[in-house]
Structure 1
Amino acid sequence: PAEPSTRRSAAADRAQRRWFQRPAGMLVAAAAAVALFAGGTFVGQALNSNQFEQQQAAQLAEINAAPDAQRAATTTTDGQPATLVWSGELGLSALMVQDLPALSADQDYQLWYMNDAGAVPAGTFDSTGSGTVWRVLEGTMHAGDQVGVTVEPQGGSPQPTSAPIVAIQS
């Protein structure tokens, strides 16, 4: 058998190695936790964005498949083609606009349901300036509502602060 002093020396060596390896392991674990948190936050945001887009697409498909689906088309004040699709049965509507100009970072396009009682906010959206931008409106559309779009401060407004760039009667 090994001498008692040798056993103590080997045990002391293992303890010392553990002592110096533990902080390194803790640092690696902490770095991994930070990476997972940051990655999880990014993935969570991407999934939420993807989930919103999928929900919008499903609602647009539902509107188009409704037996009472209707369409109306016009142009914006600057001449971009705009189409409203809706289903009174579902109480849903969606607006599509081609080549809508991009806005500054401190502005959003805001959707409204407009009728004799006033304007009700129905969501905000952005545009890249090219292609077709579309959005299913939030809330419930009622027969005879007009759907309008205004340019508002980022995040939207409780009431329109500018004249509509487009308004389509449902």
Structure 2
Amino acid sequence: MNERDFADLAVGHALHALSEADERAYQEALAGNPHWDHHVRDASDIVAAISASVEPVEPPPSVRASLFARISELPQDSASPAMSGDDLSPRLDDEDFAALGAAPVEPERETVAVGPSAASGWGPRRWFTLAASFAAVLVLGFGAVTVSQIFAPPAAVVALQQIEDAPDAQSATATMADGTVATAHWSPSTGQSVLVTDGMPAPEQGKTYELWFVRDQTPIAAGTFKPDADGKATAVLQGEMHSGDVIAVTIEPDGGSPDGTPSTAPVVTVATA
């Protein structure tokens, strides 16, 4: 085993996610190469930093419903390891208990192997390497990057959440002829407005979508955005929205309209009054 493989295993060990075979290999490598112990410390530090950067939140009620829906779909085989004796209810793991709001006692159990996901193609080693890269960011101190910044949600998502949490939150939805569904969200108390799209075609190469507040038939530029591969986007409108504004979207050159006025007819319009 080389040092790089050991560093990957050290992260897996810190996450308590190694298979029995990998755990043995890790312990043997550490015993034979005690000077590699700095990887162990680095891995522990990164796992602790990631944990500290995530604030605990109260799970929504839908989590409980989703959990029991998942349980009801499990095979009801009495020989299944998910059952115990005459207890016909599936055993819940720690995450399930957390979703239910319970505080389980940590059971003593053997470390089990974590297999790769057929959907994603990412096995444990790939995830360990990803976590190790976060450790490198912390250890090497690249710029002013922190773990909390790495995991920070996009500004548009934060703005949308703030709008939805506001007591005066409002929204309006429009469906375009091409199937694009656009929903405008706004809140006067927060002073923010966000457009959420679904099914929006990708613009041509060198083009982008530009947002506009249309106020008394006068368009006011409000930023640009591009949807993802599924046509989804969450974009903050820059500037102050006024009551009765129409939110419009045009196709413009990358960077937005050169003269600050729309160069094409709107492909999306959402009336807010």
TM over 0.5: yes
Q: 1:142: how far off?
A: 1.0
CA distance in 2, matches of 1:77, 1:166: 10
Partner of 2:185: 85
1:8-157 residue pairs with structure 2 within 5 A? 54-116=154-216, 118-157=218-257
What is the alpha-carbon root mean square deviation over aligned residues? 2.6
Identity of aligned residues (%): 37
Shift of 1:82: 1.2
2:265 corresponds to which residue? 163
SS at match of 1:135: strand
Which whole-Å deviations, capped at 9, do the CAs of 1:13-48 have from their partners, x for residues lacking one? Answer: xxxxxxxxxxxxxxxxxxxxxxxxxxx58x97xx99
CA–CA distance in structure 2, aligned partners of residues 161 and 48 of structure 1 = 37
Distance of aligned partners of 1:80 and 1:117 in 2 relative to their CA distance in 1, 3 Å threshold: closer
CA distance in 2, matches of 1:72, 1:85: 7
Q: What are structure 1's unaligned runs of at least 5 residues?
A: 1-39
Higher share in strand? 1
Greater relative CO, 1 or 2 (CA 8 Å, sep 6+): 1
TM-score of the two chains, using structure 1 as the length reference: 0.66
Consecutive unaligned residues of structure 2, counting only runs of 5 or more, are: 1-141
Which residue in 1 is equivalent to 2:101? none
Q: In the TM superposition, what whole-angstrom CA distance separates every residue of 1:115-140 from its partner, at most 9, and x where no partner exists?
A: 11611111101123415211111111
Matched positions, count: 129
Separation in structure 2 between the aligned mates of residue 147 and residue 102 of structure 1, nearest angstrom: 19
Contact 2:156/2:194 (<8 A) preserved:
no
Q: Matches of 1:159 and 1:71 in 2, distance apart?
A: 26
User: Please, what TM-score do these two structures have when normalized by structure 2?
Assistant: 0.43
Name the CA shift for 1:106/1:119 in 2 (closer, same or farther; >3 Å): same
